[in-house]
Amino acid sequence: MKRDDIPLLRESLPYINKFSGKVMVVKIGGEIADNEDNLKNFCEQVALCVRVGIKMVLVHGGGKQATALSKKLGIEPKIVDGRRITDEKTLEVTKMVFAGQINTDIVTILRKCGLRVVGLSGIDGNLISAKKRPPVHVDGSKKPIDFGLVGDIVGVDVNVINVLINGGFTPAISSLASDDDGEVYNINADTVASAIACALKAEKLILVSNVHGVLDREKNIISKLTRSLAEELIEEKVIAGGMLPKVQSAFKAIENGVRSVHLINGLSSDTLLMELFTESGCGTMIE
């Protein structure tokens, strides 16, 4: 240990003691999983959290990879308000990418970090029950938009998660779900992570992407975001695109018992540890 590390360690110890034994849900964006070095760095931070007693539950999608594979297959991606319109061909792509490539990569790297990891999707153990999203008006559209095989969550059964985390395993969950008839749906990973965090009454929901947090009108990071400010920024289109479902999911989680939500940049080194174990943090917090 370096002498310069000692003040940081002293600052971190109260947070480590406070969070030991607590459940935290971490959503990993496709940008993080797209680069092996970045994913390894982030997984090492997750592993450290597990070693100090935090029960970590990981959720991921893989929008960037799904877009890349779709284009290779000649399928033009269509994304509205940060959510992917999913026809049958696009659903097959999300199955391959979410439950296949990315889930396997995350599980493999976490295992290298010394964790016991179980990869699954929202379909396994009836974790996420969903129904097809009806056509909806989006962003002032005159006609309702049919998102195709995109699902809305109707139920969450976290029994399988509780069995895993109480047995010392770390779940890594891809954002697919199904209904009772076996129809598979693509669901925004931020939405899935929020729903799971609510069902678990998690201490924290941490949304990890390639941005440092929610930005204000001058492009500065908002350290603590209130609902009133968020509503203003949404109205002004400052919060838009992929950030919109993140902020919406964050406030829904807060309304349903999650203590705090954090939005951080997983491409920067040690951001998870800095956000959890220092007073200043490094992203946007909602509580």
| Residue 77: per-residue pLDDT | 87
| Residue 82: per-residue pLDDT | 67
Across 20-54, b (16+ Cβ under 10 Å) vs e yields: eeebbbbbbbbbbbbeeebbebbbbbbbbbbeeeb
CATH number of the domain within which 155 lies: 3.40.1160.10
| pTM beyond 0.85 | yes
Using alpha carbons only, give the angle 252, 253, 259 rounded to the nearest 5 degrees. 140
Q: Is residue 77 part of a domain?
A: yes
Q: Is residue 7 part of a domain?
A: no
| Residue 4: per-residue pLDDT | 45
User: Exposed/middle/buried for 5, CB within 10 Å: 0-12, 13-18, 19+?
Assistant: exposed
Q: Is the distance from CB of 200 to CB of 23 less than 8 angstroms? A: yes
| Residue 198: per-residue pLDDT | 96
Q: Is residue 3 part of a domain?
A: no
Residues of the chain with pLDDT under 70: 1-10, 82, 139-141
Q: How far apart are the first and last CA of the chain?
A: 34
Q: Is residue 167 part of a domain?
A: yes
Residue type, position 120, single letter: L
Q: Is residue 246 part of a domain?
A: yes
Q: Which residues contact residue 182 at a Cβ distance below 8 angstroms, ignoring those fewer than 6 apart?
A: none
The domain total for the chain is: 1
| Residue 5: per-residue pLDDT | 46
Q: Is 223 helix (H, G, I), strand (E, B) or coil?
A: coil
Q: Is residue 12 part of a domain?
A: no
Q: Is residue 5 part of a domain?
A: no
CA-to-CA separations, 49 to 26, 68, 81, 154, 259, in angstroms, rounded:
11, 32, 33, 31, 18
Enclosing domain of residue 188: 19-286
Q: Is residue 11 part of a domain?
A: no
